[in-house]
Structure 1
Amino acid sequence: MLHAVKCTVVDAGAQTTVQDATGRCGYWDVGVPPSGAFDEFTFALVNAAVGNPDTAAGLECVVRGPVLTFDEDTLVCVGGGLTEATVDGRPIANGQPVRVRAGSTLDVGPVDGPGMRGYVAVQGGIDVPRVLGSRATFILGGFGGVEGRPVVAGDVLPLGRRENLAAPGSVAELLPVLGHAWELRVIPGPHGAPEHLTPDGVDALFEADWRVDHRADRTGVRLVGPTPTWARTDGGEAGLHPSNVHDSAYPVGGIMLSGDTPVIVGKDGPSLGGFVVPAAVIGADLWKLGQLRPGDAVRLVPVTPVHAGAAMAERRDLLDAARGLSDRRPHAAPVMLEADDAEPAGSRRPPALADRPASDHHPAYTIRRSGDRHLLVEAGPASLELTVRVWVHLLAEALRADAVAGVVEVVEGVRSVLVKVDDAVLALPALASRLVALAAGLPDPATVVLDVREVTLPMAFDHPEAHEAMRRYQTVNPTAPWNPDNVEFIRRVNDLPQRDDVFDVVTEATYLVVGLGDVYLGAPVAVPIDPRHRLVTTKYNPARTWTPQNAVGIGGIYLCIYGMEGPGGYQLVGRTVPVWRLIAEDPDRDPKPWLLRQFDRIRFVPVSADELAVQRAEITAGLRDLDVRPATFSIAEVAALEAGAADEIALVRAHRRAAFEAERERWVS
């Protein structure tokens, strides 16, 4: 048996994690982010410098890098924002592979700019176990890397085998130049003027000088600058703020407007949320997000899809050169030319790849680019229509069954489907054409009966941790109308007589899961089947920076259970049990760590905080499962309910809309 080479962490630095180049793939639809190296270009280059394959894992560090020793002679290479890396006190250069003798000390040094992150590649790679297909660390989720956490002093990291690796070589001249002023090339859309922003508002987005906020991290890069100019006063059923939309999936690199704040979705960012996305960073520039430091200047530069494809082809050629493959033919991006491709890039969105009117049992829908590697299908009106939600599900299932080569992720939203592609294999226009063909063959959603589950969850209303999140937020936006008590805000905006009436409505409702991964890790976004139970509220602006795991909140007409601790924007009402559990394989248990499914029917049963604590611990440990029984869901059921209570439903909707409008007037006055 071959002896495994090991690396010992003498000093962990500020936050050093194991990452790989590509991260996790295939779990975006249940709220598992890809993770992986934030600056994947630099990471791939230093990996190539020591001869590693693309799949090898290495180390990412911020602020201060680690101090490492090795039990055998080992090749290493560093890159990124590092300036003072040494081996036994002797400086080493970024991008240059260096042999570290057994027992010698590699001190990675500070990451003090320009650039925000440094990378360390070790010959053979860091050989920690794969979790959901990747070695990448997802700290917020607590998995991947070394027990789901940053490395600590004393950790011993196993290294992979070193036979049959490629020849090492310097990549110093290929490493990108870092600075404090950045241009991010973007493709405008999928959202824009005139539906969401005004034309002048879209122009201003790309003309502004933005600054990176101090709260930028791997979940997202917040930008500070001018307030967007909105084309509407609110988001209707989706929320009180005009940035609110019915939950739709984000691409990594998508620039969502969280209230009035642009946030660029990062490698550990959320997959699904309810905010407008007016632009997305192109694939060739995603690496820059990992090197943006607080205070850096940013300009968003619109480019055409052809320019984006050419930039990515150039990037692949550089990586081939680093891997000693430069004698290959240059990469050609599989982009199908369109009429506007010869025109200069502007602030307007590229034309829709498909735009179909409603016909027969099919809703109207559009297909637009969401960056250069994603398509967004949006169907029906900008309101909740459960018939449209079922149609969206049928389209997503048809695409999955079709197994189109190059399709990487399929993520369902409330009235949308986001599809990610491998752009070296599949062109977005070709995928759009395939989706149009699949849509034409879908059955009538009104005739479909879905086999689902009825899930009963305990709920501790007014949970102390929910109130702690409210308390912390008051230092972020002390004048927000939902301070100091989210439940009182929900009561007021729905004109309910008593505060406890909010809890009564939530308890009476049957919620239908219409999206997964809303705020990570299998977190459901759900809506009451009965319109009379649809409380209307809004999302925080700006969002919270902390939310307790499994807090329950309402935003727009939707309810969300937070899959893990992290940021969030829904108005909090209580807390429930985990909806994500990653435990050792058990042949007697469903192996999926996400515990809820699309179209599950959820009912809540009130319990005390102490009773909830016991159930939470039992479910986390695998001693208890969710209370689940078979059920069905159909549009015919909804139609019968709405027909039988049409007058009362209309009165409730009108009453709540009036209260919503009154609260909005109080807010803006």
Structure 2
Amino acid sequence: MVNEIPKTLGGHPSVPEHLRPQYPTSWEIMAMPGPHQEGYLTDEDVDMIYSSELKVSHNASRSGIRLVPPRAPQWSRKDGGEGGSHPSNLVEYGYPLGTLNWTGDDPCIFPIDWWKLGQIKAGNTMQYKRVSLEEALSLRKKVEEYLVAIHKAIESGSFEGVQALETTYSPSGAYGKAVVAERPAKGNEPQVRYRQGGDDHLLVEYGNEQFDLNHRCRVTALEKVLRGPDAPAWLKETLTNTVGCCTSLLLFYNGAKLDRERLVKYLQSLEDQLGDLSKIKVPCRRFRLPLSFESKEQTEATQRYMETQRPHAPYLPDNLEFTAKNNAFSPDQLKHNLLNGTLMTVVVGFFCGNTVSLPVDPRMRMASPKTNPSRVFTPEGTFGWGGSCGSIYPVDSPGGYMMLGRTVPCFDYLGYKDGFSLEKPWLFQDFDLLTFYQVTEEELNEKLGYFRSGRYKFEWDDVEFDMAEHNKLLQDTAEEVKQLREKQTKVQDELVAAENESLQKWREDKEKNKVDESTLDALLADPAISTIDSPMDANVWKVLVDEGDEIKANQVCAILEAMKLVEKRCHDVVAEISVQAPWDIKKCKVEKLLVRPGEIVKAGGRIALIRQEN
């Protein structure tokens, strides 16, 4: 902060034009490999990412910069294992800020307001350039030095000698690997991989991408040591945050002050200190939550998804029926498992305290792909399933988990409700146990009303989770679980084939619906023909006219949708945009429709051709 503006600047800071960074429409973004680049994408996929211009989608927002790639990745594996059936699916982990995340065919950056990402907008293009940790830190230092120089110039009243910020860079090509260190398994102590996530993040990953509550227990134990009173002073000064997930711990640290090699060596030394955790008892809470399998809002969200994003898929229109089939259950069996089983909270975070949970009993575990593409809207309180985990959506938001039901949200914006606070506006914490009881949609709506008004009381008991008992359950049910997994794998292979067929048909249908260029040119050459154009990049939600219809001035002919961020709220909503006929037309008919619901239209793109009649 500048304490006082010098009179030489006229009472207000005005940085000279030549010192202000330029905001182009095509951006160069420097990026380090990782954390999951190696072993997931093919070499051709990686080359495509770094050699192509990626367009910023109309669905980009401050909570997720969605990109349009030249093609979908080919992937170096056939599926995501316990993360989900699609090869892009991973066991949930903490996302480093600024990470390019690829779910299905859609890449998305989970952004931070860095000066470049904070200025990117829909319709821009961007191209990644690979840099090493050392190069990233050097570039970061230059930005910080530039800001310090501007700060001093404002305070002194003179910009003499201040150099403009250099916004382009030619990387050396020596960018290193995503996995920076490994520690082999030893007895009951699992394998550990240390994955880089930019110059300020390090992902500590246990095991081999398989859900195991022993790994989650180890994540929690490591986190407590790192955040505890006995942590070394240098770590307390540089470690800013930690995010524990299913089998991994993401560290946020100040890369400009803490040498990564020193951090990794210290983390490796802690593994011996933690030792064998297979028989410990963990204090936790057991919650009892209402769950409705009917929801008008979820039905409407699915219908809108089918109208604006993808018209058909094996998981449409009933996510619950698909998830049951994908796991060799009947819908009633799936509901029975949810209402009679116990889930353990293995992730709290990512987005507004989003809670991800895993069934304690391995016989009740399920696997499910995420929607492709992901939905632009999911109602708050949705209980969804993606990969091998369940999740409660804390707010209305985009999402790709299969919607199985709806419960009470676990997030309070203002932190005033019972169980919440301004410092901790989310409800759940690591190792919380979740159980459900069934309610009708009307009963749930009543409870949602109580929650929104601050009168809802969550039910929970303080209990202990015994890792020794859990490990005995794993041993006793191993053969039964093996047989169930074989049965599930067979069904899942069939549904993956059905999904691939559906995706191919969907893509072919979109190509068939395109109007031939020669036909379009001939129509546009007619002086009686004019166009109705899109005001922005968006999805086509509804087309309200047909070819041959007479239309009037200012008549709404189509409704588009795109994402926007609502001021003073932390999540995105869908904005509806009405597209009207020109104000000055008199007697016109729709000559040719150029879009259909579910298609994407660019800013200035033609929605329809209209003919002026005499």
**TM-score, normalised relative to structure 1:** 0.68
Q: Is the 8 A contact 1:48 1:322 kept in 2?
A: no
Per the alignment, in what secondary structure is the counterpart of residue 404 of structure 1? helix
1:454 to 2:286 alignment: yes
Q: Is the 8 A contact 2:245 2:346 kept in 1?
A: yes
1:303 aligns with 2:135: no
Counterpart residue type for residue 203 of structure 2: L
Distance of aligned partners of 1:349 and 1:537 in 2 relative to their CA distance in 1, 3 Å threshold: farther
- Find the aligned partners of 2:249 and 2:327 in 1 and give their Cα distance: 31
For residues 194-233 of structure 1, give each alpha carbon's deviation from its aligned partner in whole angstroms, at most 9, with x where no partner exists.
x211122212211122111111110111111221120011
Question: Which deviates further from its counterpart, 226-235 or 427-436?
Answer: 427-436
Give 1:586 deviation, angstroms. 8.5
Where does residue 223 of structure 1 map in the other structure? 67
Which stretch of structure 1 is more off in the superposition, 652-661 or 452-461?
Answer: 652-661
What is the CA distance between 1:537 and its match in structure 2? Answer: 1.0
* 1:399 partnered with 2:226: yes
Q: How does 1:411-426 map to 2 (within 5 A)?
A: 411-426=243-258
Residues 1:528 and 1:265: Cα distance change in structure 2 (over 3 Å)? same
Count of aligned pairs: 480
> What residue in structure 2 maps to residue 147 of structure 1?
none
AA matched with 2:445: A
- Select 1:180's aligned residue among 25, 30, 33: 25
The yes-or-no answer on 1:376 pairing with 2:212 is no
Q: Name the structure 2 match of 1:288.
A: 116
Could you say what secondary structure the match of 2:291 adopts? strand
Given the alignment of the two structures, is residue 653 of structure 1 paired with residue 480 of structure 2, yes or no? no
Which residue does 1:579 correspond to in 2?
410
Residues 529 and 51 (structure 1 numbering): CA distance in 2 closer, same or farther, change over 3 Å? farther
Q: Distance in 1 between matches of 2:341 and 2:417?
A: 34
The answer to whether the Cα contact below 8 Å between 1:354 and 1:436 also exists between their aligned partners in 2 is: no
Deviation digits for residues 98-153 of structure 1, max 9, x if unmatched? 76xxxxxxxxxxxxxxxxxxxxxxx8xxxxxxxxxxxxxxxxxxxxxxxxxxxxxx
Which of these residues, 73, 79, 82, is aligned with residue 234 of structure 1? 79
Asked if residue 313 in structure 1 is aligned to residue 152 in structure 2, the reply is no
Q: Is the 8 A contact 2:415 2:421 kept in 1?
A: no
Q: Which residue of 2 aligns with 1:427?
A: 259
Query: 1:9-31, CA deviations, whole angstroms, 9 ceiling, x for partnerless residues?
Result: xxxxxxxxxxxxxxxxxxxxxxx
CA distance in 2, matches of 1:229, 1:525: 28
Is the counterpart of residue 530 in structure 1 residue 361 in structure 2? yes
Residue in 2 aligned with 1:127? none
Aligned-residue CA RMSD in angstroms? 2.7
Distance 1:558 1:405 in 2: 35
| Secondary structure in structure 2 of the residue aligned to 1:604 | strand
* 1:205 is the counterpart of 2:49: yes
Distance 1:451 1:317, change over 3 A: same
Q: Which runs of 5+ in 1 are unaligned?
A: 1-46, 53-74, 76-95, 100-122, 124-167, 269-285, 331-342
- Could you tell me how far apart the structure 1 residues matched to 2:321 and 2:413 are? 36
Corresponding residue to 2:110 among 257, 262, 265 = 265
Code of the residue aligned with 1:207 in structure 2: it is S
Cα distance, 1:479 vs. partner?
A: 2.7
Structure 1 residue 188 displacement after superposition = 0.9
* 1:42 counterpart residue number: none
Q: Which residue of structure 1 lines up, in the alignment, with residue 467 of structure 2?
A: 635
| Cα deviations by residue, 1:428-450 (Å, 9 ceiling, x for unpaired) | 22222221222221131202210
Q: How is 1:598-617 mapped onto 2 (pairs within 5 angstroms)?
A: 598-617=430-449
Percent identical among aligned pairs is: 31
Contact 1:97 1:170 in 2 (8 A): no
In the alignment, does 2:294 pair up with 1:480?
A: no
SS of the residue corresponding to residue 328 of structure 2 reads: coil
CA contact (8 A) 1:454 1:629 kept: yes
Matched, 1:540 2:371: yes
CA contact (8 A) 1:583 1:622 kept: no
Q: In structure 2, what is the Cα distance between the partners aligned to 1:550 and 1:586?
A: 16
Q: Partners of 2:147 and 2:354 in 1: how far apart?
A: 37
How many angstroms does 1:583 deviate by? 4.6
Q: Aligned partners of 2:266, 2:449: CA distance in 1, in Å?
A: 46
* 2:292–2:441 contact (8 Å) kept in structure 1: yes
Residues 519-559 of structure 1: CA deviation (Å, up to 9, x unaligned): x2222100101111112211111111101011010111200
TM-superposed deviation, 1:627: 0.5
Q: Which structure has the highest helix share of the two? A: 2
Aligned residue in 2 for 1:568: 399
Q: Deviations over 1:268-307 (max 9, x none)?
A: 9xxxxxxxxxxxxxxxxx3211222322221110011111
1:131-210 alignment to 2 at 5 Å? 168=13, 170=15, 172-193=17-38, 195-210=39-54
Change (3 A) 1:97 1:384: farther
| 8 Å CA contact retained: 1:241, 1:259 | yes
The residue identity in structure 2 corresponding to 1:569 is G
Distance 1:345 1:612 in 2: 56
1:243-269 CA-partner distances (Å, limit 9, x unpaired): 00000111221000021221111239x
User: Aligned partners of 1:51 and 1:262: how far apart in 2?
Assistant: 44
Q: 1:653 to 1:588 in 2, by over 3 A?
A: closer
Shift of residue 361, structure 1, vs aligned partner: 3.0
- SS of the aligned residue for 2:377 comes to strand
- What is the CA-CA distance between 1:365 and the residue it aligns to? 0.8
Letter in 2 for 1:572: M
Indicate which of 496, 499, 507 corresponds to 1:664.
Answer: 496
3-state SS, counterpart of residue 468 of structure 2: helix
Pair 1:323–1:529, CA change in 2 (3 A): same
Which moved further from structure 2: 289-298 or 581-590? 581-590
Cα distance in 2, alignment partners of residues 232 and 589 from structure 1: 42
Q: Deviations over 1:358-392 (max 9, x none)?
A: 11332111112101111111110121121111111
Describe the superposition over 1:67-107 as per-residue Cα deviations: whole angstroms up to 9, x where unpaired: xxxxxxxx9xxxxxxxxxxxxxxxxxxxx9776xxxxxxxx
Q: Which residue of 2 aligns with 1:356?
A: 183
C-alpha separation between the residues in 1 aligned to 2:336 and 2:130? 49
Please name the residue that 2:588 is paired with. none
What are the Cα deviations for residues 170-198 of structure 1, in whole angstroms up to 9, with x where unaligned? 354332111111111100111123x2111
Query: 3-state DSSP class of the match of 1:257?
Result: strand
TM-score by length of 2: 0.74
Matched-pair contact (CA < 8 Å) for 1:49–1:171: no
Q: What secondary structure is seen at the aligned counterpart in 2 of 1:289?
A: coil
Q: Secondary structure at the residue paired with 1:628?
A: strand
- CA–CA distance in 1 between the matches of 2:225 and 2:437? 36
Q: Residue 263 and residue 583 in structure 1: after superposition, are their counterparts in 2 closer, same or farther (change >3 A)?
A: closer
Q: Do the aligned partners of residues 583 and 304 (structure 1) sit closer, same or farther apart at CA in structure 2, a change above 3 Å counting?
A: closer
Checking the alignment, whether the CA contact within 8 Å between 1:51 and 1:323 is kept in structure 2 is no
Q: What SS does structure 2 have at the residue aligned with 1:473?
A: helix
- Letter paired with 2:272: A
